Chain A
Amino acid sequence: MATATQTTITADSYGSAFMRGLKSFALLRESWVGMIGAAIILFWILVALLAPWLAPFEPNASIQPFARPGTVSAAGATFWLGTDHLGRDILSRIMWGTRTVLFYAPLATLVAYTVGILMGLAAGYRGGWIDDVLSRISDIILSFPVLVLYIIIIGVIGASGINIIIAITFASSPGIMRIVRGLVLDLRNRDYVAAAQTRGESDWRIMLVEILPNARGPLIVDACLRLGYVIITIGVLGFLGLGLPPPDPDWGGMVNETRHMAIAFPYMVLAPSFAISSLILGFNLLADGLREIAIRD
């Protein structure tokens, strides 16, 4: 095992992006926790990609209300997970819902990261009044209990896909900024940064080429955890009725719509709850695996 890693590392010295990717994967192989996480995520990605072919029914079609799991429809197909109160196939809705969550969550995380990293770099590297202003703003945003903040933002700007991305960016970029700022404060005192400064490199080049690549380890781990958290947020917003407007499937929304019938038809709420929990678990396991590898290096 160890020798295998050794050879991959040497291969990396003639480094192409492909080899580097291969190396990360080889390293991940050494953490079973990370492997399980990656497998779960991969499974859901496949489900999302193949939803139109895998899903037995139209996700929004009202076919047969309150069908228990395993019921065979008039057309001969089986409702493997049953149908909801409006007669929509739960399995198909979960499959199509994967698309929603795997579209909005990474996109929102990406946008939040872009904003957070830029803010963090500016605050950490430039310091001075920029740091003061940005830090104060983020303190204020972070002083809100996070769900209260979401409720207020969504309440003001309304519930829609783009608004969810805006809200998530607004609420989570201060946290990202703090992490980046902390990393930058540490990294900017390194001698290689001083070397770049004494060469007269521009601030942007120092921030993006000299500092940022060295912060990527902790940031990747954090991004995985945060992605999990963004999925929770989207789910919770859906559950509270502040998510994507119906009728398109959304896991949190599915729980919300059917929770009053849960005593009689627990399967309606159980299936989407399992789906969302497993996906988040996947990201958290992956983050843990990556962190374990990072510590070991």
Chain B
Amino acid sequence: MATLIAKRLGLMLFTMVIVSLILFLLLDTNLAGDPAARVLGQFASADQKSLWLAQHGYNDPLMTRYFHWVSGFVQGDLGESNRYRAPVADILGPRLWNTAILGFWTFAIMIPLSLLFGILSGMCEGSKLDRTLSVISIVTTSVPEFASSVFFAAIFVFGLKWLPGTSGMAEGFDWVQMVLPVMVLVVYGFGYVARMTRASMAEVMTAQYIRTAILKGLPYKTVILRHALRNALIAPFTVIMLQINWLLSGVIVVEFFFAYKGFGALLLEASLNNDVALLEACAMVAVVVAVTTQTLADIGYTYLNPRIRFS
């Protein structure tokens, strides 16, 4: 077990190093074009530009620059944003916090809902509830986030006029503005997690050890709670952890659509504006979050599964 965790952590570190190298090579060398021109303006002289490049270390060998960037990143110095003319860390912090709030509420609503529906319909495979859930989840996973944003906006903003169409939160945090973004993310993710839970539960319910438990004469409640759920929730746990990776994609669309000032919108903005330092930092943060949750998912999976834990 200890070696397994050590191995996973090592792998996580390895992945992050490789990803950082790839990001650096892709973004800081090619995409940037002439960074000096963008910072100093079109009419800066060649001398000014080369001086600026030298000052900011662009003339150093690639590896030196990479190590400089990485060591800065580890220490929290993420460089300077061209667009905002401010340290990236200062911009990124509040944006990440906003996205964390969005993600928290999405998960807080989506997970219990989808687990409940998944378990219930997995318990009674083929029932009305099961079929309804299966249709609902196919439909919801078929609607891309931008399309469901449009549909919900059409109903609640243009039609019923209950909710605001943007979530910019210009006058501070506002609950009402959170509703639509959370709704869109919950609807898209719900179907998938519920389906996975259902499949896992349905499989466990046909397992022979469930038959054993029933034929031991145990009360149905004990069969479900002690024998079925413990095995059925192992797979959804991993799925839920990996949903965080999916959420990082989802927030980009939703934040863009509702003008929510979060991390996803910032990343997209950085990309559209060739803001290299900002894009690098955003992408790196996204990967760190994704890889960390994936590692946690793996470790958690081995912990939940005694067949691996004690082998």
Query: Which A residues are within 8 Å of any B CB, using their own CB?
Result: 33, 139-140, 143-148, 151-152, 155-156, 228, 232, 235-236, 239-242, 252, 255, 259, 262-263, 266, 269-270, 273-274, 276-277, 280-281, 284-285, 288
Contacts and interface: CB of A to CB of B under 8 A. Distances in A.
Interface string B225-269: 000000000000000000001101110110011000000000110
B27 A152 contact: yes
Interface in B1-29: 11, 15, 18-19, 22-23, 26-27
Contact of A281 (B11, B15, B138): B138
16 contacts: A140-B15, A144-B19, A144-B287, A146-B245, A147-B253, A152-B23, A152-B271, A155-B279, A232-B144, A235-B146, A240-B268, A241-B272, A255-B150, A263-B158, A270-B151, A280-B142
Interface in B273-296: 274, 279, 282-283, 286-287, 290-291, 294
B252 A151 contact: yes
Nearest to B195: A288
B86 interface: no
A138 to B, nearest CB: 11
Contacts of B245: 143, 145-146
Contacts of A255: 146-147, 150
B19 A145 contact: no
B15 A145 contact: no
Nearest to A234: B144
B146 A273 contact: yes
Contacts of A139: 11, 15
B31 A270 contact: no
A277 B150 CA distance: 11
B130 interface: no
A236 B271 contact: no
Query: Which of the four size classes fits the interface of chain B?
Result: 35 or more
B252 A147 contact: yes
A285 B282 CA distance: 36
B143 interface: yes
A146 B146 CA distance: 16
Nearest to A155: B271
Given A139-B15, A145-B290, A240-B253, A262 B144 contact: no
B165 A263 contact: yes
Contact of A239 (B23, B139, B143, B146): B146
Interface of B: 11, 15, 18-19, 22-23, 26-27, 30-31, 134, 138-139, 141-147, 150-151, 153-154, 157-158, 165, 245-246, 248-250, 252-253, 256-257, 267-268, 271-272, 274, 279, 282-283, 286-287, 290-291, 294
Contacts of B256: 239-240
A156 B30 contact: yes
A240 B31 contact: no
Given A143-B15, A143-B287, A155-B279, A288 B253 contact: no
Contacts of B294: 143
Given A151-B268, A259-B257, A263-B165, A236 B27 contact: no
B27 A156 contact: yes
B144 A277 contact: yes
Contacts of A273: 143, 146-147, 150-151
Listed from nearest, the 8 A-B pairs whose CB atoms lie closest are A147-B249, A145-B248, A273-B147, A281-B142, A273-B150, A239-B146, A280-B142, A232-B144
Residue of A232, A274, A281, A285 ringed by the most chain B CB atoms within 10 A: A232
Given A236-B146, A262-B154, A266-B150, 10 more contacts: A140-B19, A146-B249, A147-B250, A155-B27, A255-B146, A262-B150, A273-B147, A280-B144, A281-B139, A284-B138
B149 to A, nearest CB: 8
Contacts of B267: 148, 151
A79 B142 CA distance: 28
B294 to A, nearest CB: 6
A259 B149 CA distance: 11
